[in-house]
Structure 1
Amino acid sequence: MHVWSKVALLSFGGPAGQIAVMHRLVVEEKRWISEERFLHALNFTMVLPGPEAQQLATYLGWMLHGTRGGLTAGTLFILPGFLSILALSILYAFFRDLVFVEGIFYGLKPAVMAVVAAAVVQIGRKALHNSILIFLAAAAFTAIFFFQIPFPLIVLGAALTGWLGGRAFPAYFLTADAHKAPSPPSQAPLETPLWRHSLRTLAIWIPLWFTPLVALALWLGSDSLFVTLGVFFSKMAVVTFGGAYAVLAYVAQQAVETYGWLQPGEMIDGLGMAETTPGPLIQVVQFVAFMGAFRFSGDISPLLAGLGASVLVTWVTFTPCFLWIFLGAPYIERLQSNRALKTALTAVTAAVVGVILNLALWFSLNTLFAEISELHVYRLRILLPTWSTIDWPALIIAAAAFIAHFHMRTGLIPTLALSASAGILYRLIF
């Protein structure tokens, strides 16, 4: 438990940093598992929906100590981020009008915008190996930004394209790693037949996932805000391929434009919270739920509504992660040797680059411009910023953050801290 608590408290810097911390502690320092088995576990979590770092912690705990170990490692990985985001959400809801607090978020918004832009470049370099994959990324960006096609449909379309394209043109959809022999079988504990294990896992985790939603629907009605939040983020838990940045584009647009839970700039503030606290980046959904319930609390105390929504959305977001691990881990070898799955995931990863580009552009427009109009031509939507409303200080902070983080390799936390300090200084002076 001590090691997993340490992993949780040190899990800053997004998935790459979190995975590096686990590797250092579990493989290099404790030598609990070999390098090969660690990579084998990482490959498995990369093909699942949800935050790969949290699922990797769950898988490693399961590998070492069975279900109890998986529950302990996965839960401890979430807990620090949950408490941190909850505290910051309360601070944001009640005190964001204070100059100091407002200055922090003023500086964080353009910095987060720059971090997402850097992620587009970094992920694109790794994922887009040829013209076909570049075309898929461009098509995904066009679909979600201009035509507002839902993110789940883009994922399904990309997966189908990769599956079919991999059969016809495997050279375009198989990376060099895909041609290597699969790793040796995992020695993870499993004493029952696979079919019986699968049925038992489903019988336990499916009710755990959906019982709170059914109970809330019976108590408050199926159209209540809490049921809407629970159902929406349950759907997100199933389609969160490609990391948090990919799905957050869809969450941001739905939370702001469809449901009105947030104002455009508030999603960027929430992402800044998640970037600067330990735990998975997808924990930002807790902030979305808190603000939505706080704003539309009805007869319930806004604070109590926000607390309840935070717990509910965290539950429906991460309960499926435990389900995927406990259900799928015994089948890991079959997944790792499945060529069709590899080609489908290659295409999904390419599409995710386009979706993240959409997130970067959407954040940039809402951070830098006070007014944005929409032009609709049939099903095509074009966002037109009013150039006279550009926020020049925010643009300067964003440019400096991008240069520091991407070109000068300044760490994420120092970049965000310096940007927040610049925001405070600007608000104190002006």
Structure 2
Amino acid sequence: MKNMANFGKVSDHSGTEADVVPLSEAVKVWARVAALSFGGPAGQIAVMHRIVVDEKRWIGEHRFLHALNYCMLLPGPEAHQLAIYIGWLLNKTLGGMIAGLLFVLPGFVSILALSYIYVLFGNVTVVEGMFFGLKCSVLAVVVQAVFKIGSRALKNGPMVGLAAAAFVAIFFLHVPFPLIIVAAGVIGYLGGRTGTSAFRVGGGHKAGAGKILEDRDSLLGEDIPSHAAPNLAWSLKTSGALAALWLLPVAGLLLALGQDNVFSQLGVFFSQMAVVTFGGAYAVLAYVAQEAVQGFGWLRPGEMLDGLGMAETTPGPLIMVTQFVGFLAGYRDPGNLNPIAAATLAAMLATWVTFIPSFLWIFAGAPFMERMRGNAALSGAMAAITAAVVGVILNLAVWFGLHVLFREVAILKLGPLWWDVPVVSTLDWPSLILTLISALALFRLKQSVITVLVASAVLGVAWKVLS
């Protein structure tokens, strides 16, 4: 038996329960995880696994994978939700809140600082060159994401067909992203429920003898803390409070400012995004870019790439790019406020409505997650959604490519179909060359994303200074 004297009992069945680890120690570790969370969800999850499972041995491999499987079923940033889940498991509700807040804090501060620099010094040659380089490398990163996710998700003909259908629907027919996700989910759910082989995926990570031994050797072991047992009253109370924190400010903005005010629009739009962001940040960014640029006119196509470059090069979830979108929207439509003050408030609002729902999903569902394991219909739905997401991300890559590599884009119409096409004579050769260099570094030289982004930014600065 492990010596638990320093940490208290995991569960004493007396109605009171100590944290699995001291909260002060957990805060230090979650701050460390947040500071090292670069490289998108894969890198963030890897950092969390290395520190929490391998180094600290607070939880075992099987429990970590089980939690990750659950977070993959939810809308929103899965790495952020995984931090909330593990924080809650180790230190109850307060632990989950602290882990989730610390996970986004470094990225929020970093992107806010970069946003100030962007609007105040964006025309300075060095700053302009940095973002020029980032745009080109981000395009290569998005193309890489298409291949990575596609290789995992498109295992058979029906899945390839779903991806193709999603691309056609969003690129040529301009079907809203949420509708594509819902349709794919329904198809996969029905396919999984009927036992169709194309929608049959692994029933999660089952624990073999090695994983069970690893779990027993972890601090939490295989025990389930009493606070992690299903408790409908606690779930309803906590979920109700979080729903109020999320939705009441949005409702207040609508009542006080009207639906045409930029703050009301940001609150409603990003609240909608929080409900349908299945498949990771790259999937939803296509829809965010489409609406923010073409629908609301909050920013220009190249600026969306600048924001994604900021999110790629700072710690935290990639969906933090919504903060930059909110910042520019508030800066350009400040109303009676100072533009910088309006931009700061808009950035805070966009971040709030983007991330508060993650806490809601975890606290509402984590205690009941065991009931979801091995559900064939649900697994089929997620497999179909992931396949559709490949088509959506391909649309994002094409959209970014058109606006990075060409200075002008035209619209071609054919009956109910219409799509963007490049004006070939406006090809931007420096952008093409830098994008190809970035792609070579990622695909052939196997360089990390952060290395490619930094190198591309340096080359971008060099080009602008010398040209």
Corresponding residue for residue 123 of structure 1:
149
Q: Secondary structure at the match of 1:164?
A: helix
Over 3 Å counting, the alpha-carbon distance change for 1:303 and 1:173 in structure 2 is same
Corresponding residue for residue 151 of structure 1: 177
Q: Is the 8 A contact 2:69 2:204 kept in 1?
A: no
Contact preservation (8 Å) 1:107, 1:424: yes
Matching residue's letter, 1:115: V
**Offset of 1:413 from its aligned partner?**
1.1
What letter is aligned with 1:331?
F
Preserved contact between residue 188 and residue 380 of structure 2 (Cα < 8 Å): yes
Q: Which residue number in structure 2 is paired with residue 360 of structure 1? A: 397
Q: 1:274 aligns with which of 301, 305, 311?
A: 311
Please report how far the alpha carbon of residue 26 of structure 1 lies from its aligned counterpart in structure 2 after TM superposition: 0.4
Per-residue Cα deviation, 1:266-292 (whole angstroms, up to 9, x for no partner): 000000000000000000000000001
Matching residue within 365, 369, 381 for 1:332: 369
Measured in 2, the distance between the counterparts of 1:250 and 1:387 equals 26
1:137 to 153, 163, 172: 163
Q: Is structure 2 residue 343 aligned with structure 1 residue 306?
A: yes
- Out of 247, 252, 271, which is 1:215 matched to? 252
Between the aligned partners of 1:4 and 1:413, the Cα distance in structure 2 is 21
- Of the three residues 321, 325, 328, the one matched with 1:291 is 328
Whether contact under 8 Å (2:62, 2:206) holds in the other structure is no
Give the alignment of 1:30-429 within 5 angstroms: 30-177=56-203, 187-190=224-227, 194-429=231-466
Q: Residues 189 and 407 of structure 1: is their aligned pair in 2 closer, same or farther, counting only changes over 3 Å?
A: farther
CA contact (8 A) 2:192 2:378 kept: no
| Runs of 5+ unmatched residues, structure 2 | 1-26, 213-221
Which residue in the other structure is 1:4 paired with?
30
Tell me by how many angstroms 1:337 deviates.
2.5
Which amino acid in 2 is paired with 1:380?
Answer: L
In 1, the alpha carbon distance for the partners of 2:228 and 2:47 equals 31
Deviation of the 1:233 alpha carbon:
0.0
CA distance in 2, matches of 1:230, 1:193: 32
The one-letter code of the counterpart of 2:295 is T
Amino acid of the residue matched to residue 342 of structure 2? A
Amino acid at match of 1:28: D
SS in 1 for 2:224: coil
| Larger displacement relative to structure 2 (339-348 or 177-186) | 177-186
CA contact (8 A) 1:249 1:355 kept: yes
How far apart, CA to CA, are the structure 1 residues paired with 2:422 and 2:358? 39
Task: Give me the whole-angstrom Cα distance separating, in 1, the residues matched to 2:392 and 2:252.
Answer: 35
Structure 2 SS opposite 1:190: helix
- Cα distance, 1:180 vs structure 2: 5.4
> C-alpha displacement at 1:253, in angstroms?
0.5
Letter in 2 for 1:11: S
Q: How far does residue 379 in structure 1 lie from its aligned partner after superposition?
A: 2.3
For the 8 Å contact 1:37–1:186, the answer to whether it is kept is: no
Provide the secondary structure at the position in 2 that maps to 1:32.
Answer: coil
The one-letter code of the counterpart of 2:255 is: L
**169 and 199 in structure 1: CA distance in 2 versus 1, 3 angstrom threshold:** closer
| Partner AA of 1:429 in structure 2 | L
CA distance in 1, matches of 2:206, 2:50: 25
Moved over 4 A (4+): 177-186
Answer whether contact 2:292 2:298 (CA < 8 A) is retained: yes
CA root-mean-square deviation: 1.7
What TM-score, normalized by structure 1, do the two folds share? 0.97
Q: Could you tell me how far apart the structure 2 residues matched to 1:111 and 1:274 are?
A: 13
User: Is the Cα contact below 8 Å between 1:62 and 1:188 reproduced in 2?
Assistant: no
Q: Distance in 1 between matches of 2:318 and 2:408?
A: 28
Contact 1:63 1:189 survives alignment (8 Å): no
Q: Does the CA-based 8 Å contact 2:133-2:457 persist in structure 1?
A: yes
Q: What amino acid is aligned across from residue 121 of structure 1 in structure 2?
A: F
Query: 2:308, 2:294 → 1: CA distance?
Result: 17
Residue 186 of structure 1 deviates from its aligned partner by: 7.3
> Which amino acid is the alignment partner of residue 400 of structure 1?
I
Q: Is the 8 A contact 1:66 1:188 kept in 2?
A: no
Structure-1 separation of matches of 2:133 and 2:235: 48
Cα deviations by residue, 1:342-376 (Å, 9 ceiling, x for unpaired): 00000000000000000001000000111101122
Instruction: Give 1:158 deviation, angstroms.
Output: 0.2
The amino acid across from 1:159 in the alignment is G
**Alignment: residue pair count:** 430
Structure 1 residue 409: Cα displacement: 1.0
Structure 1 CA distance for aligned equivalents of residues 205 and 311 of structure 2: 37
Distance 1:73 1:109, change over 3 A: same
Q: Using the alignment, how far apart are the partners of 1:23 and 1:168 within structure 2?
A: 35
Whichever of the two has the greater Rg, that structure is 2
Structure 1 stretch 3-12 or stretch 196-205: which is displaced more? Answer: 196-205
Greater helix content: 1
SS in 1 for 2:227: coil
| Structure 1 segments unaligned to the other structure (5+ residues) | none
AA at the equivalent of 1:66: K
Secondary structure, aligned partner of 2:418: strand
Change (3 A) 1:178 1:294: same
Contact 2:203 2:379 in 1 (8 A): no
Q: Contact 2:89/2:228 (CA < 8 Å) preserved in 1?
A: no
